[in-house]
């Protein structure tokens, strides 16, 4: 069985030998990032202590970049993997006016976001990508 997260991710924002960071293509959630551990492991407890520090620091740096660039109202962190059991973290900038707020992004939508607002957030994505790469480089 092929695992889509074992494949190299196209256009990663950041990639090293252990993990990749990608921008998720979701029209309602510009800035939604995924941190994908390269090795096909299922659970956080499959990692060594040092690897857990590495991936959680990466998640934290992505969160800090989202806060600095997008000024989100809240950042949601989620590691689910029920559908694709390959360790990855969702780092999701949330806004009070987004499609699901205050519910999880996977719940039923409660509103249609303003297209101009989404476009303004989308325009910040190059800046967000640069901020993530800079944080993970240093």
| Residues near Zn ion, by CB under 5 A | 3, 5-6, 40, 86
Count Cα neighbours of 65 within 13 Å in the Cβ-side half-sphere: 29
Quick check: bond before 102 cis, omega within 30? yes
3 state DSSP class of 35: strand
DSSP3 helix / strand / coil % (the chain, rounded to 5): 35, 15, 50
User: Least distance (Å) from Zn ion to the CB of residue 5?
Assistant: 5
> By C-beta, is 64 or 81 nearer to Zn ion?
81
> By C-beta, is 36 or 105 nearer to Zn ion?
36
User: Least distance (Å) from Zn ion to the CB of residue 43?
Assistant: 13
User: Least distance (Å) from Zn ion to the CB of residue 6?
Assistant: 3
Strands of the 88-94 sheet, one edge to the other = 14-15, 19-23, 33-37, 88-94, 74-78
User: Least distance (Å) from Zn ion to the CB of residue 86?
Assistant: 3
Through-space distance between the first and last CA atoms of the chain, rounded to whole angstroms: 37
> By C-beta, is 3 or 78 nearer to Zn ion?
3
> By C-beta, is 5 or 44 nearer to Zn ion?
5
């Amino acid at each position: 069985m092929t695992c889509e997260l074992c494949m190299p991710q196209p256009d990663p924002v950041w990639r090293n030998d252990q993990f990749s960071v990608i921008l998720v293509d979701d029209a309602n959630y510009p800035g939604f990032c995924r941190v994908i551990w390269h090795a096909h492991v299922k659970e956080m407890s499959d990692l060594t202590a040092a690897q857990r520090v590495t991936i959680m620091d990466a998640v934290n740096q992505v969160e800090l970049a989202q806060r600095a660039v997008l000024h989100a109202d809240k950042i949601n962190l989620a590691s689910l993997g029920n559908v694709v059991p390959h360790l990855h973290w969702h780092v999701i900038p949330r806004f009070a006016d987004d499609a699901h707020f205050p519910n999880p992004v996977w719940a039923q939508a409660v509103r249609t976001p303003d297209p101009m607002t989404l476009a303004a957030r989308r325009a910040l994505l190059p800046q967000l990508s640069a901020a993530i790469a800079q944080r993970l480089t240093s």
